[in-house]
Amino acid sequence: MKQLIECVPNFSEGNDLTIIKQITDSIESVEGIKLLNVDPGKATNRTVVTFVGEPAAVVEAAFKGIAKAAELIDMSKHKGEHPRMGATDVCPFIPVANISMQETAEWSKKLAARIGNKLHIPVYLYEEAQEDKNEIIFQSSEQVNMKASLKRLNKQIGSLILVLQNCLQIPVLLLLALVIF
């Protein structure tokens, strides 16, 4: 029996139908994917897309849609009533048939790794896919290296920051910003 996952990505474009069509075309280009719904919202400037397929096809279609959205949507010019995180705000996976929630979560982790490694976009896993409830998952090797470097830096200069903060009366966040950047 076929395993089926539904995917409901939310893209930060609800007005420009040519951009929305390019995103949905990239999703539909994956064999075995059935596009169920496209719901653009003008006030929110956000489109909710719903599609279904077997797990590997869903991961491929979601990746293609997210890549196309990242290519076409300029978040520096984005306006809308709904809060947004990026060109793709969320991309939930829902088990539909013959697949557990845990298996579905594993497929979402595969997508997250691919997004991080290929598109260099940080990914936050949530609900069942999230292992550490307080951590953003940085998947690309550059991001992993940066994260490790920042942890080492934090350990090395932790006491220095406290000393400087006490001496100079400068907020810690400002010091961290100066040290990191």
> Which CATH number characterizes residue 37's domain?
3.30.990.10
Identify whether residues 117 and 157 lie together within a single domain.
Answer: no
In the DSSP assignment, the letter for residue 123 is B
Identify whether residues 89 and 159 lie together within a single domain.
Answer: no
Rg (CA), the chain: 20
133 exposed, middle or buried (CB, 10 Å; 0-12, 13-18, 19+)? exposed
Identify whether residues 63 and 145 lie together within a single domain.
Answer: no
Q: Which residues are CB-contacts of 77 (< 8 A; sequence separation ≥ 6)?
A: none
Spatial contact of 98 and 1, defined as CB atoms under 8 Å apart: yes
Identify whether residues 118 and 166 lie together within a single domain.
Answer: no
Identify whether residues 43 and 114 lie together within a single domain.
Answer: yes
pLDDT in tens, 27-85: 999 999 999 999 999 888 999 999 999 999 999 999 999 999 999 998 888 777 766 67
Spatial contact of 63 and 111, defined as CB atoms under 8 Å apart: yes
**Does the residue 135 lie in any domain?**
no
Identify whether residues 120 and 147 lie together within a single domain.
Answer: no
Phi, psi of 142 (to 5 degrees): -65, -40
pLDDT band at 120 (very low <50, low <70, confident <90, very high): confident
Mean pLDDT is lowest, of 4-8, 65-69, 146-150, for: 146-150
Domain region containing 165: 141-180
Identify whether residues 61 and 95 lie together within a single domain.
Answer: yes
Identify whether residues 78 and 149 lie together within a single domain.
Answer: no
User: Domain total for the chain?
Assistant: 2
* Catalytic residue annotation: 82
Spatial contact of 102 and 128, defined as CB atoms under 8 Å apart: yes
